[in-house]
Chain A
Amino acid sequence: EAQVTQNPRYLITVTGKKLTVTCSQNMNHEYMSWYRQDPGLGLRQIYYSMNVEVTDKGDVPEGYKVSRKEKRNFPLILESPSPNQTSLYFCASSFRAQLSDEQFFGPGTRLTVL
């Protein structure tokens, strides 16, 4: 089944403890992206990747890192999480980064930073 998977789905952690949220897609998509969703703010893009080893900042990149070493994986790294990073995170992918390419979203990861 074609899908985007994220792990973990739920995570409670403490301030400053490094964490990684994994994202994987099995559709051979070139474009991958991370979003955070907060009440009243909609979906905001954190980072995106046009292809392997090509990443760029979205609208809210502060406090996050990403890497794209393999085409299928695009992990989101929080080196020193803070409470303001408590949010619902979505990973998404599309075939390429063309204007006409729809995005497929993962199920989401709900992160709470205490």
Chain B
Amino acid sequence: QQPVQSPQAVILREGEDAVINCSSSKALYSVHWYRQKHGEAPVFLMILLKGGEQKGHEKISASFNEKKQQSSLYLTASQLSYSGTYFCGSRLKGSGGGADGLTFGKGTHLIIQP
């Protein structure tokens, strides 16, 4: 039931672009993206909802294809500070009143080299 992330790891030079993908075999109601630096807690990046609504950091962009049950996170002109592990989380159920648990993928390790 975990969403599947790809790639598992990517190494970039500073200034290059990266795309991290997240897909689910079940219908998605929302997709969450978090970044975790080594030894620290995950930090919120973005939430994407069905219908196109988004909430998150201005400098990060992402897409959510409801029909394909996929989301992608776009990191452009990468900086050294972008290094870390990126997790997508999916909420599979939901209604106007709320949602249940958040299920995370296994993560994508991003290394930015100078």
B100 in contact with A48 (CB, 8 Å):
yes
- Count contacts on A: residues with CB < 8 A to the other chain: 27
- Tell me whether A43 is interfacial, beta carbon within 8 Å: yes
- State whether A106 touches B41 (Cβ < 8 A): yes
User: Quick check: is A23 within 8 A (CB to CB) of the other chain?
Assistant: no
A102 to B49, CA, bound (A): 12
Instruction: State the B residues within 8 Å of A (CB).
Output: 1-2, 29-30, 32, 34, 40-44, 47, 49, 53, 55-56, 87, 89, 91, 94, 98-107
Which residues does A use to contact B, with CB under 8 Å? 33, 35, 40-45, 48, 50, 56, 58-59, 90, 96-108
A-B contact pairs, 8 of them (CB 8 A): A42-B105, A45-B102, A59-B1, A99-B47, A100-B47, A100-B53, A102-B55, A105-B34
